[in-house]
Chains A and B, each alone.
Chain A
């Protein structure tokens, strides 16, 4: 399996898994506008996932398309960050997760837009325009929740404290990251840390939320080592294609 295939899968799986989690808010979000926003952001992410997975299938060269990759891989073959598969929790948990990811996502797509691989760069440029809107949406809600009521501040802080440990994975390069970076087609994962922390810290300060301390723990979702939660998410997302392979309607 080529490093580039694995690398591209990560971006596709991040978008797909977060998109699936956001879709779970359909009909359940706290207000109608947020129901619509979650659905729209989910749709953008699933659209981006389709582009990445189609490219991954092309790179692999075994004839697998976006659907084969989305519906017929098991949890250990998924390459998303562990943070993104955690259950939605309350709306504060969902917003905090989105914000931590969205800031990283914008920096990541900006870096990938300079990739020597024209297909990777094209998807990154396209996705970045959408990610900018997502980031402003989650950033705005982060401040609303943090600066809202005592209760909303407590919930946002609890969400932040619970999720912070999963962000270390964003910045820990592994062999796949290093291989694709070396060929000029990827980026140095660690290099995004300072800007990410700077932007996140500024927003947390505005939201009257406290920056948690970094821990030594590093999750390994991007290498296929997931929490139990991903298998439940995949079971729901894949059930129809697993029961009736290649069904169309």
Chain B
């Protein structure tokens, strides 16, 4: 059994990584979040390059540990996780499927940075339009604070159904 296991090809590391959920937002994987920037396999060893979302996001350490554990459990004897800063992460890399799952989870997905560029004045009221309530769909919402429970989210509330909710900020 041992001989068979070692001679059979190891699992595709991308498949393994797609099974790792973001520690703060468990409905999307780290691959869908767009932070996995490269995977290099060399025999039984694998190197994964990831990029941080926000500079100070503490989840990055949990993610590194999760990657290490998952790939080792899939049979890789050596796992190296490196951080790559450039190009800087953008929410535009979040996949379309993941955006829909965020909405179902109650977090409004980020608008494309490309589409919001140029609307940013020196005041903070930048998300005035188009942040529809994930519960009732109303456009009648307001920002409570540009900073929320994690670095990536802003706090909103729906004026119609009165539910508070999160908006994933475009970055």
| Beta-carbon contact of B56 and A122 below 8 Å | no
> Chain A interface: which size bin?
35 or more
A53 to chain B, nearest CB (A): 12
| Beta-carbon contact of B122 and A136 below 8 Å | yes
Q: A122-B88, A203-B122 are in contact. Are A136 and B146 (CB under 8 A)?
A: yes
> Chain B interface: which size bin?
20 to 34
Q: A40-B151, A133-B146 are in contact. Are A126 and B88 (CB under 8 A)?
A: yes
- B155 close to chain A: CB less than 8 A: yes
What are the nearest 5 A-B pairs in CB distance?
A47-B56, A47-B55, A33-B145, A43-B56, A136-B124
- A135 close to chain B: CB less than 8 A: yes
Residue of B nearest to A44 (CB): B56
- B101 close to chain A: CB less than 8 A: no
* Chain B interface residues toward A at CB < 8 A: 52, 54-58, 85-90, 120-126, 144-149, 151, 155, 169, 171
Chain A residues with Cβ under 8 A from B144's Cβ?
33
Q: A50-B55, A51-B55, A127-B55 are in contact. Are A41 and B147 (CB under 8 A)?
A: yes
Q: A36-B147, A44-B54, A137-B147 are in contact. Are A118 and B86 (CB under 8 A)?
A: yes
B65 to chain A, nearest CB (A): 16
| Beta-carbon contact of A136 and B54 below 8 Å | no
Interchain residue pairs with CB less than 8 A apart (6): A33-B155, A36-B147, A36-B149, A130-B54, A133-B169, A136-B121
